[in-house]
Structure 1
Amino acid sequence: MGVEHLQILSLNFQHASIEDVGLLHVAPDEQPAVLTNWKIQLGLQGIVFLSTCNRVEFIMSDEKYFCMGRQAHLMQQFGLAPEAFTRIMAAVQVYRGEQAMRHLMRVASSLESMVLGEREILTQVREAFDLAMNHRLAGDRLRVTGRSVVETAKKVFTDTDVATQAVSVNSLGWQAFKAWNLPRDASILMIGAGATNTSVGRFLAKAGYHNVHVLNRSLERAQALADILHTSMVGTLEALPDALAAGPAAIVICTGSDQALLTGEHARMLPAGPLHVLDLGVPSDLDAGFRERPELTVVDMTALKEIADQNLAIRATEVGKCESLLEAGLVEYIERLQAREVELALIELPNMIKAIRDTAMGDIFAEDLEGLDAEARQVVERIVAYLEKKYVGLPMKLAKEAVLEQLRKS
């Protein structure tokens, strides 16, 4: 017994390019069939596959060591070009036993993420285990593993401050916008309908801001964002002069352009009065001329990066607490796994005792029982059933306690 069955192959942004990580991606709707094939070909007891934008984790349960030959066989399933195959084989990290469990808990707790404290990874880990279990791919040991990993990661996020300080552009940008305390009916101009503005748009919609005019190079994408905001004011960048002349109270801009979109000429199109601008573009979507406009308040990526760096520093001070929780989680996992191993070892005990009871009452003592009246026979049957229940439960309880006591001593 123990955790040596747990083996993980990891390819992640720390050891490989994002492009190489992407070569091992498997779409969620294809995973059941693909993982079933891997499990059969490799003779695994269980498998879970985690795939994110910057890592893939092959989480496996098997008594046999996952040697270099088996690793190569698995990677060959992706049809890699020879150069990519060589790079990926060199970059894959291999974990086994307690080291594998520590790695998996660190991943689920965001300690291995690009951004320390990001919560999305826990959802991705849980969904990966759910998919494997729903399709009978995980097996009993990985079921126990997944439960322990998720519970421990939840403790990290709830019992420490590793995720309490915002560091994402979207969250920090929204916090800056909220600090302006604009009324819910304020006129807002959103320029750009990419992922960043879409995320901010969801914050705006949830907070009740619907007086929003959305402009984008592509009308289709502008309409998609407008639908989120429940607004009918939508158009392309050709409508920018009119939108500025309408006098928005705030502008949220992120275009992805390599040149500033709003210039001094655009500033002169705006009516006089206070204007707040949330500039999430890299590089900035505002040129120097626009920034000279009177009564202008700008929050841009430079300001947000300073806040993000400060918040990341605060998060980093929590890593020690996180590590302590992970070690406690590892101990709990080993105890839980050992207890489950005992349950599985004794799984035939109830059937064995039932067979003994049936033989005793149907054969050995059959004539004696026939000589009893109905009431006496019922009493005997109740006594035997009680003893049967106790003889099943007591050995399993004592065996679990013995294993856990041995673990505490070791």
Structure 2
Amino acid sequence: MLGPIAAKQKLFCRIYRTSVKPDCHAPWPQSATICWRLPFLTAAKDIAMKAIEQYKIITFTHRRTDLNGIGQFVLRPKTEEESVLEQLHAFKQQIGAKEIYYLSTCNRILFLVLAQKEDKGKAFKQKFMQTLYADLSEALQAKALKEAFLYEGLEAIDHFFRVSASMDSLVVGEREILRQLREAYQDNLEQGLTGDAIRLLMRFTVETAKRVYSSTRIGEKPVSVVSLAVSKLMQAQLPPSSRFLLLGAGQTNALFAKFLKKYGYHKVTVFNRSLKKAQELAQDFDGEGLLLSQLGEYRKGFDVVVAATGAKSALLTTELYGQLLGEEAASSKLLIDLSIPNNIEPAIAEQYPKAQYIPIESLRELAQKNLAFREQELERAKEVVEEQVDIFYQAFKERLIELALREVPIQVKAIRQHALNNVFKKELADLDEESLALLDRMMAYMEKRCIAIPLQVAKQNMLKED
């Protein structure tokens, strides 16, 4: 006959369907084995792979579509009252997506989707395109289907990481894309388009980009002509009081002006064919906006000329340069020509050899060298991304387990209460208070120690590599 303690253990085993040796005095739970029936443990890898395949990316990039062509597929509001992101809610329901993320930049359109398990390959891509671009002509729909890239599963994760680290950008190593990705995520999140899966991916995406930039030199050495021109300006070590003449108020000089403001230069005069644009660009400086036709009349002196217009011939000729120079020495002047064809006549450098002349050709040559340097760093960056994909996949599998087992603690407690209050109510009624108290402590101890077993076992099985 079993003793009192063994009898209580036997009752406990009946409640939890465990096995125990009555004469074993080892601490619980070593003396018991909980028979959790979790079928997915035997196929953990398959389940994880099928789950990861739900990540899809459909994207238009400069690698297959020219920049004007990409613009044809940018989403636009259908009404004044409804934004693009609000429209995506309806689209998300139409294709049965669980989550969706939309990014649009000057050289990329990207859709990150958490799709249904049955949505795969070309069939999913076709359904996606036909639904999204239903209002476009048949020709444009066919073009979209042909030119869009589709990435699925781990390939989608790899691509998203590469995008974040500017490895897939038109200009490799430009960090602006990471800011764009994060801002787009915040907008999509606020609209309720994204959920737990994309949240997890974004966390590792930001981590990957930062790791690429910190462990490689992919972002070093400027590759844009404006950045290189600014570098040349900084090398000249001109004082903040230097006088600048900007010929042209377009995008190039507008960007150059931002750098001037950043580095404390404030005496800037802008010449442009449109007086309004010249004045708008000059308003942040102690200068003025003038018409290009007034350049020959300008007599206030200068230290730097930056030319960037669409003129088909030189605006600053040798003769005009002499007039602008007046009585000032030419040795301290810096001439930066960011135009094709040249807006500053190259002959100026021959006639005034002490002036420093920087044509766009020299900047473009340096940009190509720097870009080649960044391209070399891509190999190291690829290694980092591959490592990060593996790290993400492990985290993804752990998250799957957490989601699958989050109800276990609640259900275990419910089973305990059902057993006590219903199944074994009669047997428990025969026990004295001391025995009931001991049984209750044993059950509480078992719950506390064993409730984590399914999670631990599942992780060990799912994370185990062949």
Superposed pair shares fold, TM > 0.5: yes
Task: Give the 3 Å change call, closer, same or farther, for CA 349–170 of structure 1 in structure 2.
Answer: same
**Where does residue 231 of structure 1 map in the other structure?**
286
RMSD: 2.9
- On the 8 A contact 1:11/1:92 being kept in 2, the answer is yes
Match of 2:335 among 277, 286, 298: 277
The correspondence of residues 33-52 of structure 1 with structure 2, limited to 5 A, is: 33-52=86-105
Deviation, 1:160, is: 0.1
**Where does residue 212 of structure 1 map in the other structure?**
268
Matched, 1:167 2:216: no
Task: Give the 3 Å change call, closer, same or farther, for CA 189–395 of structure 1 in structure 2.
Answer: same
Matched, 1:203 2:256: no
Deviation, 1:326, is: 1.0
Match of 2:155 among 70, 92, 99: 99
The correspondence of residues 7-406 of structure 1 with structure 2, limited to 5 A, is: 7-26=56-75, 30-62=83-115, 63-76=117-130, 77-78=132-133, 79-227=135-283, 229-243=284-298, 245-269=299-323, 270-271=325-326, 272-274=328-330, 275-294=333-352, 295-359=354-418, 388-404=447-463, 406=464
Query: Distance between the aligned counterparts of 1:172 and 1:27, measured in 2?
Result: 35
Task: Please give the per-residue CA displacement for 1:60-110, whole angstroms capped at 9, x wherever unaligned.
Answer: 112123454543443343322232222222122222122222222222222
Tell me the secondary structure at the aligned position of residue 318 of structure 1.
helix
Query: Distance between the aligned counterparts of 1:386 and 1:219, measured in 2?
Result: 82
Query: Distance between the aligned counterparts of 2:359 and 2:449, measured in 1?
Result: 70
Deviation, 1:111, is: 1.8
Query: Distance between the aligned counterparts of 2:337 and 2:230, measured in 1?
Result: 11
Query: Distance between the aligned counterparts of 1:385 and 1:273, measured in 2?
Result: 91
Tell me the secondary structure at the aligned position of residue 273 of structure 1.
coil
Query: Distance between the aligned counterparts of 1:221 and 1:72, measured in 2?
Result: 45
Q: Mean alpha-carbon deviation: is it higher for 217-226 or for 151-160? A: 217-226
Task: Give the 3 Å change call, closer, same or farther, for CA 256–372 of structure 1 in structure 2.
Answer: farther
Query: Distance between the aligned counterparts of 2:456 and 2:190, measured in 1?
Result: 30
Q: Mean alpha-carbon deviation: is it higher for 331-340 or for 273-282? A: 273-282
Query: Distance between the aligned counterparts of 1:132 and 1:160, measured in 2?
Result: 30
Query: Distance between the aligned counterparts of 2:314 and 2:390, measured in 1?
Result: 55
- On the 8 A contact 1:267/1:293 being kept in 2, the answer is no
Query: Distance between the aligned counterparts of 2:455 and 2:121, measured in 1?
Result: 36
Task: Give the 3 Å change call, closer, same or farther, for CA 386–223 of structure 1 in structure 2.
Answer: farther
Deviation, 1:329, is: 0.7
Task: Give the 3 Å change call, closer, same or farther, for CA 133–357 of structure 1 in structure 2.
Answer: farther
Query: Distance between the aligned counterparts of 1:221 and 1:134, measured in 2?
Result: 36
Tell me the secondary structure at the aligned position of residue 317 of structure 1.
helix
Tell me the secondary structure at the aligned position of residue 322 of structure 1.
helix
Deviation, 1:26, is: 2.4
Letter in 1 for 2:93: I
Task: Give the 3 Å change call, closer, same or farther, for CA 114–242 of structure 1 in structure 2.
Answer: same
Task: Please give the per-residue CA displacement for 1:109-142, whole angstroms capped at 9, x wherever unaligned.
Answer: 2221111111112222223333333322223222
Letter in 1 for 2:243: S
- On the 8 A contact 1:197/1:254 being kept in 2, the answer is yes
Deviation, 1:257, is: 2.0
Task: Please give the per-residue CA displacement for 1:34-77, whole angstroms capped at 9, x wherever unaligned.
Answer: 22122100011221122221121221112123454543443343
Task: Give the 3 Å change call, closer, same or farther, for CA 237–401 of structure 1 in structure 2.
Answer: same
- On the 8 A contact 1:276/1:297 being kept in 2, the answer is yes
Deviation, 1:293, is: 4.1
Larger Rg: 2
Tell me the secondary structure at the aligned position of residue 115 of structure 1.
coil
Deviation, 1:216, is: 1.9
Query: Distance between the aligned counterparts of 2:445 and 2:265, measured in 1?
Result: 67
Tell me the secondary structure at the aligned position of residue 304 of structure 1.
helix
Structure 2 length-normalised TM: 0.78
Query: Distance between the aligned counterparts of 1:216 and 1:91, measured in 2?
Result: 39
Task: Please give the per-residue CA displacement for 1:189-209, whole angstroms capped at 9, x wherever unaligned.
Answer: 122121211111111111111
Query: Distance between the aligned counterparts of 1:43 and 1:133, measured in 2?
Result: 18
- On the 8 A contact 1:216/1:222 being kept in 2, the answer is yes
Query: Distance between the aligned counterparts of 2:344 and 2:336, measured in 1?
Result: 10
Q: Mean alpha-carbon deviation: is it higher for 217-226 or for 315-324? A: 217-226
Tell me the secondary structure at the aligned position of residue 281 of structure 1.
coil
Query: Distance between the aligned counterparts of 2:358 and 2:99, measured in 1?
Result: 50
Task: Give the 3 Å change call, closer, same or farther, for CA 239–394 of structure 1 in structure 2.
Answer: farther
Deviation, 1:248, is: 0.1
Structure 2 residue runs without a partner (length 5+):
1-47
Tell me the secondary structure at the aligned position of residue 83 of structure 2.
helix
Query: Distance between the aligned counterparts of 2:448 and 2:281, measured in 1?
Result: 63
- On the 8 A contact 1:20/1:84 being kept in 2, the answer is no
Task: Give the 3 Å change call, closer, same or farther, for CA 392–26 of structure 1 in structure 2.
Answer: farther
Deviation, 1:390, is: 4.3
Letter in 1 for 2:66: S
Tell me the secondary structure at the aligned position of residue 110 of structure 1.
coil
Task: Please give the per-residue CA displacement for 1:350-398, whole angstroms capped at 9, x wherever unaligned.
Answer: 2213323544676767998xx979xx98x99998777655444443244
- Identity percentage over the alignment? 31
Letter in 1 for 2:198: L
- On the 8 A contact 1:219/1:235 being kept in 2, the answer is yes
Tell me the secondary structure at the aligned position of residue 123 of structure 1.
helix
**Where does residue 15 of structure 2 map in the other structure?**
none
